[in-house]
Amino acid sequence: MSIVGGISGSGHSSTSLSFARWKVLEFDHQVFLLCLAFYCVLGSTFFWILIQYLRLRRRSTAEEARILALPLPADSGLPNILVQLPTFNEGTLIRRAAKAAANLDWPRQLLHVQVLDDSTDGSVVHSERAVADLRDQGIDALLLHRPNRDGFKAGALAGGLLHSDAPYVAILDVDYLPKPDFLRDCMRALLDDPRLALAQARCDYLNGDENLVTGVQQRILDAHFAVEQAARSWSGQIVPFNGTCGIWRRAAIDEAGGWQGDTLAEDMDLSYRVQLRGWRTLFLASVTVPGELPNTFQNWRRQQFRWTKGSAEVTRKILAAVWRSPLTLNQKVVSTLHLGGGLFGFVFGLTFVTGAIDIAWGTGLTGFALALILILAAEVIVGPGLLQLVGQKCARGAAILPELRRLPLVTVLRLAVGLANLGGAIEALFGRGTPFVGTPKEGGTSDPVTAASLSSHVARPES
C-alpha cells in the first residue's frame, strides 16, 4: 500500500506541476498578445492623424489665414509681452538670439526680454553682453543667472516669471530665430480669443540639408510639426507645447499651477495641465520659426532620450487626471493614445520577455500573434512613412518620388534611435530621475535676418 500510495502521490504532484506550468505559460501568452494589441492600437493613430489632416486641411488653413489677417489694436493699445530666452551652456548662441529678439516688431516700451542663463561653463559672459546690447537699443532686458539648476528649464522659466507681471509670455530657445512679425502673428489669435492659453508657431530648421543626420530629422519632425500637431489642433484635441516658438497667456500658466520641474518634458506637462482646466491652444502651421537640428547621431540620440523619458514621465503624472477631467470621451481616448506613447519602452520590454518565453516553452507564434505582428510591422513602417511624405509635400512642396527613395533610410534611423532610447521610458515609469542634458548646437547660421528670410521661403504649407 505504501508503494502504491507513493506512486499515486508522485503522479498527483507531477500533474499539479504540469497544470501550474500550463497556467503560467497560458498567462504569459495572453500578456504577449495584449502587448501586441496595445502596439497595434497605438500604431493606428498614425492613420487617424493622416485622415484628420487631409480632411481638415483646406478648411483649417482658410481659418488660419483669417486669424492672421485680424487687425491688431494701435500700438498704444497693445499689451506688454515678456520674451524669455532660456539657455544652458550654449556659448555665443545667446548673442544671436538676442539680436533676433531685438528685431521683433513690437513697441519698445511694451517689449521685455529675460535671458535665463543656467550655464556652468562660462557662457554667462555672452549673456551679459547680449543683455547690454538689448539695453543699448532701448529694450527692457534682464539677465537671471541661477546658482543652481533646480527644476532645470522649468525652474528657470518659473524663476523669470517672478520678476515680471506681463500678461503674455513668449518662449524662444536660443537656437531659434523668429521673424520680426512672430509676436504680431501669434498675438492676433490670443487677443481675439480670451480663452486661448497658447498660440504657437511651427518649428522649422536652419540646417536640414547640412548632412544625413539633419536631413533625416527634418523629415521625421516635419511629420510631427507640420502634420501631427496641425491635425491635433484642427480636430480640437489636446495639443502639446513644443517648448519654444510660442506665446502663453500668463493667467493660464498661473491657473494650472505654473511651470513644474518634476519631468523632463515641462512643456508637454504644462500644456496638458492647462488644457485639462478648459483652456484652448492654437497651432499656427503657416507661421514658422527656424532653429537648429543636432548635427551628429550622438547628439540626436541624446535629445531623443530626453524627449522619450520626459514624455513617459508626463504619462505617469497626467494620465489619470485626463480621465478625471471634463474632456469629451473622444478627447480622453485620443489623449490616452497620445500619452500611451510614453509606455512604449516598458511595453516593449514586456513584449520581448513574454514573447521569448512563449516561443521557447509555450505555444509559440500562433496565427493570431503572427497576424498582430504583421499588422504592427505595417503600421510602424507605412504609417510614419505616409506622414513623412505628406509632410514634405505639403510643408515644403517636395516631389514624392525622391522622398520615396529616402524613406527606407529615414525609417531605419528612426527605428534605431527609438530602440536606443527605450531605457529612458522604462526609467521614467519606475520613477528614476535624471538631470536635464542640453543638446549641443553650433550656431551655423549667425545672422537672424538671414534665418528669418529662410523660414519665410521654405516652410509655408500648401493650401
pLDDT in tens, 321-363: 999 999 999 999 999 999 987 777 678 788 889 999 988 888 8
Between these two residues, 3 and 391, which has the higher pLDDT value? 391
Per DSSP, which regions of 341-396 are E strands? none
| pLDDT at residue 445 tops 60 | no
CATH architecture of 29-463: Alpha-Beta Complex (3.90)
- What percentage of the chain has pLDDT greater than the value 90? 72
| pLDDT at residue 446 tops 70 | no
Between these two residues, 42 and 452, which has the higher pLDDT value? 42
pLDDT in tens, 229-244: 999 999 999 999 999 9
Please tell me the predicted confidence (pLDDT) of residue 454. 45
Between these two residues, 440 and 150, which has the higher pLDDT value? 150
The C-alpha atoms of residue 402 and residue 43 are separated, in whole angstroms, by: 25
Please tell me the predicted confidence (pLDDT) of residue 109. 96
pLDDT tier, 429 (very low <50, low <70, confident <90, very high otherwise): low
| pLDDT at residue 125 tops 50 | yes
| pLDDT at residue 306 tops 90 | no
Between these two residues, 175 and 10, which has the higher pLDDT value? 175
pLDDT in tens, 168-216: 999 999 999 999 999 999 999 999 999 999 999 999 999 999 999 999 9
Q: What angle do CA 165, 171, 176 make, to 5 degrees?
A: 150
Please state the φ and ψ torsions of residue 334, each to the nearest 5 degrees.
-65, -40
Active site residues: 118, 267
The C-alpha atoms of residue 38 and residue 354 are separated, in whole angstroms, by: 14
| pLDDT at residue 456 tops 60 | no
Between these two residues, 430 and 149, which has the higher pLDDT value? 149
**Mean pLDDT for all residues in the chain:** 88
Number of continuous H segments (helices) and E segments (strands) in the chain = 16, 7
Sheet with 81-87: list strands edge to edge. Answer: 140-145, 111-117, 81-87, 168-171, 246-249, 196-205, 280-291
Please tell me the predicted confidence (pLDDT) of residue 211. 95
| pLDDT at residue 287 tops 70 | yes
Q: Which residues pair with 40 in a beta bridge?
A: none
Q: Residues 225, 226, 228, 233: is their CA dihedral positive or negative?
A: positive
Domain residue limits, the chain: 29-463
Please tell me the predicted confidence (pLDDT) of residue 346. 75
Please tell me the predicted confidence (pLDDT) of residue 434. 57
The C-alpha atoms of residue 357 and residue 126 are separated, in whole angstroms, by: 57
pLDDT tier, 6 (very low <50, low <70, confident <90, very high otherwise): very low
Please tell me the predicted confidence (pLDDT) of residue 23. 82
| pLDDT at residue 65 tops 70 | yes
Please tell me the predicted confidence (pLDDT) of residue 20. 76
The C-alpha atoms of residue 276 and residue 347 are separated, in whole angstroms, by: 26
Q: Which segment, 60-64, 206-210, 410-414, 431-435, is predicted with the most confidence on average?
A: 60-64
pLDDT in tens, 79-120: 999 999 999 999 999 999 999 999 999 999 999 999 999 999
